[in-house]
Chain A
Amino acid sequence: MIEVKNCSKVFTLHLQGGIRLPVLNNVNFSIIKGEAVALTGPSGVGKSTLLRMIYGNYLAEQGSITVDGVEVVGAEPRTILALRRATLGYVSQFLRVVPRVATVDVVAEPLITLGTPPDQARDLAKALLSRLRVPPQLWSLPPATFSGGEQQRINIARGLIHPYPALLVDEPTASLDAENRQVVIDLLCEAKARGAAILGIFHDAAARGAVCDRDVDVGAFVPDADGEAAQSAPVSA
């Protein structure tokens, strides 16, 4: 479902004299349907960078990334947008939404975009919000002023409302209490059981153990101090 081949990433900082920072090199792994994989490694090693590359948010320097057979590296924006709409979900650490839009609509939006009738999408959103224990009196309010934990659960609801075949999750349980963490773990396990491929970052070892089948150590993809990322990968197009 998700396949990464010979991928590398270099950040070029033009504002600091054009320094090139190779962060990932020769990344290779794949995830099949119904499998959950955790990215591991210390902070700053490039776990989020790798997730973002798969989501098309960061550009890969070279190599190939396919999600459900669709090539992400070098893809046209509309190809990536179509992939994100129907196939590839992403739960980030932070909620970013239009001001003034009610919580229930924030959560329902991905379904409405895919053509679900708005009333039906809102009902599904409400069901998911109650499962994530977001109080009903908050549903009609915009989430901008909510607490960190509430915003995170709304973000999770938005990311899981559509049954995406592939899911990227970045610290989904970070600012949640034990009970809420368990709800999120259950939701991810259910997604896996229906066949979703999940790639996630979990600092919480218990959550990682409960959801994931295996680990991929991102530390193995960090370039050598003198090794420019461009040298080793033999892939051209």
Chain B
Amino acid sequence: MTALAAELPAEAPSPGAEALLTVEGLTKSYGSQIGCRDVCFDIWPGEVMGIVGESGSGKTTLLRCLSGHLSADSGTAVFDGEDGPVDVLSMPEPARRRLMRTEWALVHQNPRDGLRLGVSAGANVGERLMAVGWRHYGRIRETAGSWLDRVEIDPERIDDRPTTFSGGMQQRLQIARNLVSAPRLVFMDEPTGGLDVSVQARLLDLMRSLVRDLGLSVVVVTHDLAVARLLADRLMVMRRGEVVESGLTDQVLDDPQHNYTQLLVSAALRL
């Protein structure tokens, strides 16, 4: 496992570098219904940004546009990729798919959407390594095993299918599958969504240490302000498809400026 750590780029977030992703004027409507309107933000290396808002506020639409599951009506999203800057909203489909398998990762709310249920846990993790060109079976298996351990799944379970795992284990497996190829930007859609509280706590703790150790940049969509407080460096609050407020996480939650954010914070059970 220590050998693995050496393989991964453990670079510390470097302040003052370029933004990793710059989104400008992103707009998507469903007929007359607004999905999201004129959304602008930057993500910097090593930064975790939370997107919060109620159901229907446009969080998921935004994430789906960025991850290529929906096509945006207008706007740009320039990613500072290894081969130079690219606009992910207008890049050719094969290149976008390659990006999603290499420098980007998407963790779905429901692990069943992000995992292949018909193959073993080890194959789920190994698949992304093969997509980035790994061919040596022994090394792939060894790396998959050490990642299972890292996300607190018994490596003995490497040949079991994810359908035999609990919900919390499936979510951790999905995270391992996504992070094994050392992506630079990770999108997470309600990653602690359907999990009970103790399992959530474990997952949050795990995600925090992975983000720190790997220097990941993360965009995490959540409706849970407590999750946002624990995970995110800064927050973007959305309502009816628009960003109404953004800033440092604790500042937005403790001294909310916008009418809607004040409502959201006062409606939360406990922060």
Contacts and interface: CB of A to CB of B under 8 A. Distances in A.
Interface string A90-134: 000000001111000000000011010000000000000000000
Contacts of B139: none
Contact of B263 (A11, A15, A81): A15
Interface string B35-58: 000000000100100000000000
Interface in B216-261: 230, 233-234, 247-251, 254-255, 257-259
A77 B205 contact: no
The dominant DSSP class at the A interface is mixed
5 contacts: A57-B251, A58-B254, A59-B251, A77-B249, A100-B201
A72 to B, nearest CB: 11
A115 B10 CA distance: 12
Contacts of B202: 100
Contacts of B212: 112-113
A56 interface: yes
Interface string B172-215: 00000000000000000000000000000110110010001000
A81 B254 contact: no
A49 to B, nearest CB: 9
Given A78-B234, A101-B205, 14 more contacts: A12-B257, A14-B262, A15-B259, A15-B262, A56-B248, A56-B251, A57-B251, A58-B254, A77-B251, A78-B44, A81-B248, A99-B201, A100-B201, A100-B202
B254 A52 contact: yes
Nearest to A75: B248
Contacts of B5: none
Nearest to A53: B255
B12 A115 contact: yes
A14 B233 contact: no
A52 B251 CA distance: 9
A112 to B, nearest CB: 8
Contact of B248 (A14, A77, A100): A77
Interface centre among A13, A52, A58, A81 (most CB of B within 10 A): A81
B164 interface: no
B208 A98 contact: yes
B47 A78 contact: yes
A59 B257 contact: yes
A80 B15 CA distance: 12
A77 B46 CA distance: 13
Given A57-B250, A59-B257, A99-B201, A78 B12 contact: no
B266 interface: yes
Contacts of B233: 77-78, 81
A77 B250 CA distance: 10
A115 B46 CA distance: 14
B71 to A, nearest CB: 30
B257 to A, nearest CB: 7
Contacts of B208: 98
Interface centre among B44, B202, B251 (most CB of A within 10 A): B251
Contacts of A12: 257
A225 interface: no
A57 B254 contact: yes
A19 to B, nearest CB: 12
A62 to B, nearest CB: 14
A98 B230 contact: yes
A205 interface: no
Nearest to B234: A77
Contacts of B204: 98-99
A230 B233 CA distance: 30
A82 interface: yes
Nearest to B258: A14
Interface in A4-62: 11-15, 52, 56-59
Contacts of A80: 248
Nearest to B212: A113
Interface in B70-107: none
A227 B251 CA distance: 26
A15 B254 contact: no
B201 to A, nearest CB: 4
A113 B248 CA distance: 18
Interface string B128-139: 000000000000
Contacts of B251: 56-59, 77
A113 B208 CA distance: 11
Contacts of A81: 233, 248
Contacts of B15: 78, 82
